[in-house]
Amino acid sequence: MATDSLLVPQCKTVTKTVDPASFTNNSNIYSQLPDHTNDSTAPTSTPSTKAADIQVINEASTLLKQGHLVAFPTETVYGLGANALDPSAVSKIYAAKGRPSDNPLIVHISSLKMLSQIMPENTELPNVYKAAIAKYWPGPLTILLPRGPNIPDSVVAGQPSVGVRFPSHPVARALIDACGFPIAAPSANTSGRPSPTLAEHVASDLDGRIQLVVDGGACTSGVESTVLDGLSSPPAILRPGGATYEGLCNLPGLEGLRVHGRDFRDVKLEATPTTPGMKYRHYTPECQVVLFESSSGSSSKVEALIQHEITEFVESGQSRIGILRTRDTPIVVSDSVSGLATIEDYYLGSSPEQVAHELFRGLRELEARKVQVILVEGISDADEGLAVMNRVRKAASRVITC
């Protein structure tokens, strides 16, 4: 489907910095979970809260109340927010990003009570999710819920369900709480680009398209949230993310948990997705990306393949080459091309968690260094690696296995 046809208004984009430490979170939010009637979940200001930080949050919430867009930090990636209950405001997200209108959005809340604005009247939170949200909310977990009448078609691309997330980032929660309504927010980037984990990434993509970027520093997770569908049977992870399969699969209600793309495929779901990240190519920098995967776990075989590809690229005239590596030491370039190639090296880290944190930043950094191709050293699908490899496979124009 074509992207939204609305013209993107030109405006001055301003970035304003806040200190996440200015806001504190009440972590004791689950005592009333069964009926979610008396939770105290929103960040609260403290005597040490900076007046300037409060002013930025107030300015951002005012813009959102007026139907404008605001980019803000979450623990996963930066989000591009609009009032989730306002179809006109939501349409601006699609226009600003150049996002296909059949690609649903995720709705963000700052308290369990906000679910009453999202689900049909007198609808209870499905039992299948209770153990999962007790473990991962606030945090990098999105759940599919029945969609109530307050949620516009544009948020869910006409689907009967809506993805909902309770972020842990104190700035995100302070902003949502200041608004008093849920915020629809995809990643704050041009559609198809690597997701933004720094405010400067947002400004690079959306300068002149939105009025305000709230800069809360680097995102701690670095990949988007896990999307969990407990409305289907058996339950399924539709998009892997910060909440891992290993952390979810043994929870009550999630017995038999499957992962879309790994354990099953659903052609109808992929054609009319209920969640972002399923239909379109994502996370792609302006240069070619080649992924190297080892089914045997042999790092020496991967290194040999990377060395071979470097030689091939140099011989074809592509001498500026970026490498995203997970090994401790840089890839050694063969003598035959060492004087002809410019290698831009970026270390992602050795653990899945570190790699997830650095992945999008690394793709954007090497792109900024004007490389012609990025070679990515893959990792195991275990833990956060499942989300990492999901993103890199979508970004890659070619995958080489050994």
Annotated binding-site residue numbers for ATP: 99, 103, 187, 195, 239, 283
- Backbone dihedral angles phi then psi of residue 299, each to the nearest 5 degrees: -70, -30
Tokens of 348: 């992602």
Tokens 């999008």 correspond to: 360
Q: How many CB atoms lie within 10 A of CB 59?
A: 17
Name the H helices within 119-160. 130-136, 153-156
Do 156 and 104 touch, CB atoms closer than 8 A? yes
CA 58, CA 212: separation in Å to the nearest integer?
A: 12
Nearest partner of 196 among 80, 291, 353, 82, judged by Cα: 80
Instruction: Count other C-beta atoms under 10 Å from residue 229's C-beta.
Output: 24
Tokens linked to 328: 């401790």
DSSP state of 187: B
From residue 325, how far is each of 36, 105, 240, 293, 338 by CA, in Å?
Answer: 45, 32, 21, 12, 18
Residue 109 CA to residue 106 CA, distance in Å, equals: 10
Binding residues for L-threonine, as ranges, are 76, 108, 165, 185, 225
Burial classification of residue 163, based on how many CB atoms lie within 10 Å of its CB (0-12 exposed, 13-18 middle, 19 or more buried)? buried
Residue 170, classified by CB atoms within 10 Å of its CB into exposed (0-12), middle (13-18) or buried (19+), is: buried
Q: Give the separation between CA 336 and CA 261, rounded to whole angstroms.
A: 40
Residue with token string 């992602």: 348
Question: Residues 147, 221, 27, 133: is their CA dihedral positive or negative?
Answer: positive
Say what the alpha-carbon torsion angle 98, 103, 109, 115 is, to the nearest 10 degrees. 150
Q: Return the structure tokens found at 22.
A: 């200015």
Rounded (10°) angle between helices 352-368 and 199-206: 40
Q: Specify binding-site residues.
A: 76, 99, 103, 108, 165, 185, 187, 195, 225, 239, 283
